[in-house]
Amino acid sequence: MVSNDERAAQVIADTSGWIDRVVIGLGLCPFANSVTTKNLVRYRATDASTETELLLVLEQELLALASADPTVVDTTVLIHPDVLRDFLDYNDFLDVADDKLQELELERDFQIASFHPDYAFAGAPADDPANYSNRSPYPMLHLLREASVSRAVEAFPDASRIYERNVATLRGLGAAAIARLVKGE
C-alpha cells in the first residue's frame, strides 16, 4: 500500500514532469521556465476528497502565498487528484475559488489559473488539441501573483498572441501526440 506521502510525491513528480515536458517544453507559457529554474514554484498535493476540504486547503495556500516572500515562493500549484475529477464540477468550483479570493480580500493580489485532465474551452469540441493548453495530469489550481503576471506580460513581446501561438502549436502536433506528452510517454 502506498502512503499518503508517497502518493503526494508521485502526484507532484507527475505534475512537475508535465510542466517541464508540455508547458515549458512546448513553450505554452513563456513565463514558466523562469520561476521553475529559480525554484520559486510551490507544489502542494492535497488528499482532499470533498469540495469543502479543497476550499479549506485553497484558503490555506492563498494565505501562505500571501505571506511568502516572492523571491522564495512566487506561485503555487495546488493539485487535488481526488476531488473535482468531473470537469463540469471543476469548472463550477472555479467560481467558488474566485469567491474565496474576494472573501480573503486577495483578488487584487492573486489570480487562479485552471487546469484539468478533461479541460475543454467553451464551444470547443472535446477532442480539439487546443484544449491541451489547460489539460494536466490531475485537476489543479495554479495560484499566481498578479504583480508577477503583470511583470511577465510587460517583458514579453506580443503577450496577447500567446494563446494563438499555443493553438497553432497544439493543433499542429495533434491530440494523440499531446496526450502522450501529458502522460509522459
Residue 73 and residue 68: Cα distance in Å, rounded?
6
Residue-wise pLDDT for 19-33, tens only, equals: 999 999 999 988 898
Return the HEC string of 31-53: CHHHHHHCCCEEEEECCCCCHHH
The 8-class DSSP code of residue 19 comes to I
- pLDDT surpassing 70 at residue 100: yes
Q: Tell me the percentage of the chain whose pLDDT exceeds 70.
A: 98
- Whole-structure pTM value: 0.94
- pLDDT surpassing 60 at residue 1: no
